[in-house]
Amino acid sequence: MRLPEFIYHEPENLQEATNLISEFNGRYGIIAGGTDLMVKMKQRLQNSQYLISLDRIPALKTIKEKADNIIIGSMNTLDDIVNSEIIKEKLPCLKQAAWEVGSPLLRSVATIGGNICLNTRCRFYNQSYFWRSSRETCCKAGGHVCHVTNQEDACYSTFVADTVPALIAYDASIKLVGVDKTRKLSLADFYTGDGRMPNQILKGSNEILTEIEIPIPKDDIRSVYHKFRVRESIDFPLVGVAVMMKGIEEKHCQDARVVFTGVGSAPVEAKLAREKIIGQQLTPDLILEVATMAVSELHPVKTDLMSPNYKRGIAQVLVEKALRDVGGVNNGKDD
């Protein structure tokens, strides 16, 4: 498959980049590592006349502590995340999730910003033009029908980025920079839940994601990321879950987050499960109850190889395992 023609720009600072965005309004694509974008362009799912690369903007490549936060520039590769001493020590769940993305080659160029802005996926959409043209165009690709649900004008393609559940569990926020405005918002609020335009940038906000800010977790926080995929060596998650718990050493949990990828058009936080766990002591019975509750909050549709029921079963196993890991609770069986 060949790439369509495009004109490539490499701005050397943010001002230049936002000026280009304004000049090419609607006709540009932002390219970070290009591991997802290049595939989409070859499949004719994105045809941008201009590509604006962020690779030569040094300000987007820092990882540092600032006051009580860790700041991660959006152009850090996933390898940079995995190898950063600050992240290894303070954000182990993020390190784990970044390490789970794709393969070593992919992680050496794929960026954390690209992972956060990753488009949703579907077995009827992420295909070549030739494959797709054998049936009616679905509504994510510009038509009116959905081949998964047979509904009109609604898309349930699935959010599958690995690092985002970990970032949301750590309460991350992001900085978005436009031509004449800069704003900060909670990462969870970045996602729209609409499979066609799953985040604010893809919806056309004309902004660049510049950095991620994460409050430095206190010493009594434990977290873990677990992922299930078909091919261990290289694959998107069918289900992924980040679990964070605070104060577990004090016996009674003070706070908890259970956040999924692979089960909806946006990352899904199991809020009832969170309420259930706060103030409780983690026991095998409670783990089972919380995992069952978390899964009852999921409504996956069949956008990949697995049925929704299979995904729910996997999610149950992953949450139980994650809760046992953070709580140091043994179920008496081998996994």
Ligand X SMILES: Cc1cc2nc3c(=O)[nH]c(=O)nc-3n(C[C@H](O)[C@H](O)[C@H](O)COP(=O)(O)OP(=O)(O)OC[C@H]3O[C@@H](n4cnc5c(N)ncnc54)[C@H](O)[C@@H]3O)c2cc1C
- Footprint of ligand SF4 (CB under 6 A): 122, 124-125, 138-140, 146-148, 155-157, 195, 303
Residue 89 has, within 13 A of its CA and on its CB side, a CA count of 7
Residue 208 interacting with ligand X (CB under 6 A): yes
Nearest distance in Å: CB 148, ligand SF4:
4
Residue placing its CB nearer to ligand X in the complex, 118 or 148: 118
Q: Is there binding between residue 262 and ligand X (CB under 6 A)? A: no
The pattern of x and - marking residues 56 through 95 that bind ligand X according to CB under 6 A reads ------------------x---x-----------------
209 binds ligand X (CB under 6 A): yes
Residue 106 to residues 47, 115, 314, Cα–Cα distance (Å): 23, 12, 26
- Angle between helix axes 284-296 and 308-327 (nearest 10 degrees) is 140
> In the beta sheet, which residues pair with residue 185?
174
| Partner from ligand SF4, ligand X, none binding residue 73, C-beta < 5-8 Å depending on class | none
Q: How far is CA 38 from CA 12, 14, 106, in A?
A: 22, 23, 13
- Torsion angles phi and psi, residue 334, rounded to 5: -85, 140
Piece of 14-22, 23-31, 294-302, 311-319 that binds ligand X (CB under 6 A): 23-31
Query: Which tokens go with 26?
Result: 């609607």
As a whole number of angstroms, the longest Cα–Cα distance in the chain is: 62
Q: Is residue 70 helix, strand or coil?
A: strand
# residues contacting ligand X (CB under 6 A)? 33
The residue type at 202: L
> If binding is defined by CB under 6 A, does position 224 make contact with ligand X?
no
Cβ proximity to ligand SF4: between 64 and 203 the closer is 203
* Residues of this chain that bind ligand X (CB under 6 A): 29-37, 39, 54, 74, 78, 101-102, 106, 110-111, 113-115, 117-119, 160-162, 201, 208-209, 234-236
